[in-house]
Amino acid sequence: MKAIFIRVVLLGAMILVGGCASSPSDASPFGETQIQHDERMGWWREARFGLFIHWGLYAEHGNELNGHRGGRYSEWLIQGVPNEEYEKLVDRFNPTEFDADAIVRLAKQAGMKYIVITTKHHEGFSMWNSESNPYNVMVTPWQRDAMKEMAEACRRHDMRLGWYYSVLDWHHLDYLPRREIDRRSVEDADYNRYVEFMKAQLTELLTNYGDIAVVWFDGDWEKGPEQHRSREIVDLIHTLQPKAIINNRIGLPMDYDTPEQRIPEDDIPPRDWETCMTINSSWGYNQFAKDWKPSGELIRHLADIASKGGNFLLNIGPDGKGCVTPQDAERLRAIGKWMAVNGEAIHGTRATVFRSSASTPWGRCTVKKLADNRTRLYLHVFDWPKDGKLFVPELGNLPDRAFLLAVPASALEATTEGGGVVIHVPQAQPDPANSVVALDFDGPLVSYHEPQFNAPSSEMIAPMDVALSAPCDQLEIRYTLDGSAPSVTSRLYSSPTRLSETITVKARSFYQGRAVSTVVASTYSRVVPRPAEEVKALIPGLEYHYVEKAFKTIAEMEDCLASDAPRTTGEVANFDLELRKRDENFGVIFNGLIRVPKDGVYRFALTCDDGAQLWVGDKLVADGDGLHGSKTFSGTVALSKGLQPIRLLYFNGSGGKFLEIKWALIPRRPAPVKSQALKSRATP
Ligand code: FHN
């Protein structure tokens, strides 16, 4: 599905499930209303561009220590070095050239609106005067609190500041697992003590340095959110700094997602997101780096990201003296030069109005709402048209003004051609990286889109309303219920249609009597709810079978349980992983009954790391099979009131483990299954 499509789905879903600005927002990790959540996220969504700084002990050696060369990421240098040897870096770290003001000025001049800096990376070294960790910057010859200097400089230059904090810690004795090269005993390690240490460190960082705009976690892949006690940690942050925005790398969805070194291909992701990216291939300073991305490429990445509604967090790795490398500085300055002319096409913009980036093969589009209901489209032209004609498809009306941001005084001519608009541009390309053409619409902007279906479910046991919408008010939606393609004489959509039988709805957008979209179709089925089970003897809880082996799929685990492999069998109150005897390479099947309160279509949401499948009767309702991080899979099933058989299959390979089942009668929001709802049949 395409860009606009997703926005409409979200809007439609909100209307249909009865969501509104004053009810809790699905996107908020803190139970805020939509308005409160939008307010907290406001500056971040406007910012679009930030600076990431990876700076720690590793900067001192730029990826080589005593003849040992690190891998791609210089900040991982510790990987191949025994602890005792790595710790000696402390005696050498003396970045006398570090100038926080200069770095903040550079970011500002590049058009960046926030900075996220590493307070502690995986090496475990604290870059601030940490009371809870003696292994910190104050014991180096330098003896300066780098984070304090950054916080003060940011305040001076009106720049928002965020803390990067690695949950993974290869130095702390209580953090497990150890690296292969690390032979320190694990016997006394206590992960809960490590969590207390993290809480103490975060408390320092969030009380001693003024307003902190972002907490950017990293390195959560070795443990799950239960072990990190992630909920407790994020609640602590929210208490200390209620306005702080928190990224997703603590095993919980949180405020925004963080694709790393990549930009989502085409769809606009449904949640807030930020791409973080290096300028060469290392995050920390790497003296051997050769593969520096050209500034033009970075400028185009920025436009690409903004056109999909995301933020760009571009990284630099200052060296052991504390200096920004000339290569990083040169690129930030080049971006700054471009931003000085074109920054308004990035800051405060929203995602494209076109269906996808394929609609604008010459580049990308961002959008801004101006005063008096006016709209400005920014066309980011990467490939300048040789014939001087920039074709903008899917546009139904001419702009009131068109001009190059670089030459705002000269108007460009716009004509209607080939189902879109042509902007007549000068022969010479104004900017080799990205030339921005602005189109102003004083009245409504007409952009062509397929209609979108909005319904609580594709199944119903009673009559159900289906709504249709398109992001552009000027379009008419016409639809049919007899399987034919909608024409200009078909029913005009004005309000939700009540469906009572299985039917396929077909719809199409029209503008001024002309079809301007393809036909879209959606089938809604009237189903009979699954009858309840008649069970006489019940006991609370679920029966389980637990087995230990490395599985990659649910089928492998089922085969294993079908054989005479050793297993443990018993009863448990809920879908609970506490029954396991180890953290990795195990599987479990839960069987039982769930008490359904009333007839209806139910949505189940299964969140798992690694694979899991949820069955109700013989229907596979949510399929999260395979090895993966924590992900949510959902599905619906029509059920009669009473007891229904439920079966959950789960396995964990290596790394984090997580399992959670939520359910609700549609259109309510799924909530965790309570143990009172779960029963087993009594054994005869
Ligand atoms: O391992 C780290 C890496 O060093 C760097 O900090 C990046 C930044 O997103 N995060 C981790 C890998 O996902």
pLDDT, one tens digit per residue, over 26-49 is: 788 998 999 999 999 999 999 999
For ligand 1, is residue 75 a contact (CB within 6 Å)? yes
To test the ligand 1 pocket, which listed residue (116, 260, 261, 278) has its Cβ within 8 A of the most ligand atoms? Answer: 260
* Nearest atom, ligand 1, residue 276 CA: 9
Span 307-357, pLDDT tens digits: 999 999 999 999 999 999 999 999 999 999 999 999 999 999 999 999 888
Percent of all residues in the chain with a pLDDT value above 70, rounded to a whole number:
96
Atom 10 in ligand 1: residue holding the nearest Cα: 218
- The structure tokens listed for 644 are 């229904």
For ligand 1, is residue 272 a contact (CB within 6 Å)? no
To test the ligand 1 pocket, which listed residue (52, 58, 72, 73) has its Cβ within 8 A of the most ligand atoms? Answer: 73
- How many helices (H) and strands (E) the chain has is answered by 11, 38
- Pick from 1-5, 312-316, 406-410: least confident: 1-5
For ligand 1, is residue 283 a contact (CB within 6 Å)? yes
Q: What is the CA(220)–ligand 1 centre distance, in A?
A: 10
Q: Does residue 179 have a pLDDT over 70?
A: yes
* Nearest atom, ligand 1, residue 283 CA: 5
For residues 63 and 282, the answer to whether their CB atoms sit within 8 Å is yes
Span 187-199, pLDDT tens digits: 999 999 999 999 9
pLDDT tier, 3 (very low <50, low <70, confident <90, very high otherwise): very low
CA distance 323 to 99: 8
For ligand 1, is residue 274 a contact (CB within 6 Å)? no
For residues 404 and 412, the answer to whether their CB atoms sit within 8 Å is yes
CA distance 57 to 90: 7
Atom 12 in ligand 1: residue holding the nearest Cα: 219
Separation in Å, CA 264 to CA 261, 306, 345: 10, 11, 20
For residues 227 and 256, the answer to whether their CB atoms sit within 8 Å is no
For ligand 1, is residue 123 a contact (CB within 6 Å)? no
Q: Give the number of C-alpha atoms closer than 13 A to the C-alpha of residue 504, restricted to the C-beta side.
A: 9
For ligand 1, is residue 58 a contact (CB within 6 Å)? no
Q: What is the CA(218)–ligand 1 centre distance, in A?
A: 7
For ligand 1, is residue 218 a contact (CB within 6 Å)? yes
For ligand 1, is residue 73 a contact (CB within 6 Å)? yes
* Nearest atom, ligand 1, residue 168 CA: 1
Atom 5 in ligand 1: residue holding the nearest Cα: 283
pLDDT tier, 561 (very low <50, low <70, confident <90, very high otherwise): very high
* Nearest atom, ligand 1, residue 260 CA: 9
Domains of the chain: 48-343 (3.20.20.80), 357-441 (2.60.40.1180), 452-526 (2.60.40.10), 539-678 (2.60.120.1560)
For residues 504 and 522, the answer to whether their CB atoms sit within 8 Å is yes
CA distance 259 to 631: 15
Enter the DSSP assignment of 256. B
Enter the DSSP assignment of 520. E
For ligand 1, is residue 57 a contact (CB within 6 Å)? no
Q: Does residue 10 have a pLDDT over 60?
A: no
Span 71-103, pLDDT tens digits: 889 999 998 899 999 999 999 999 999 999 999
For residues 653 and 627, the answer to whether their CB atoms sit within 8 Å is yes
Q: What is the CA(437)–ligand 1 centre distance, in A?
A: 36
CA distance 684 to 680: 12
Separation in Å, CA 575 to CA 44, 562, 580, 662: 37, 21, 12, 11
Looking at residue 21, what is its pLDDT? 60
For residues 279 and 324, the answer to whether their CB atoms sit within 8 Å is no
319: CB partners within 8 A, 6+ apart? 59, 62, 95, 285, 287, 325
* Nearest atom, ligand 1, residue 121 CA: 6
Q: Does residue 14 have a pLDDT over 50?
A: no
CA distance 448 to 643: 48
Q: Does residue 632 have a pLDDT over 90?
A: no
To test the ligand 1 pocket, which listed residue (283, 314, 315) has its Cβ within 8 A of the most ligand atoms? Answer: 283
3-state secondary structure of 607: strand
Span 534-560, pLDDT tens digits: 988 899 999 999 999 999 999 999 999
CA distance 223 to 652: 12
To test the ligand 1 pocket, which listed residue (54, 164, 218) has its Cβ within 8 A of the most ligand atoms? Answer: 218
pLDDT tier, 471 (very low <50, low <70, confident <90, very high otherwise): confident
pLDDT tier, 152 (very low <50, low <70, confident <90, very high otherwise): very high
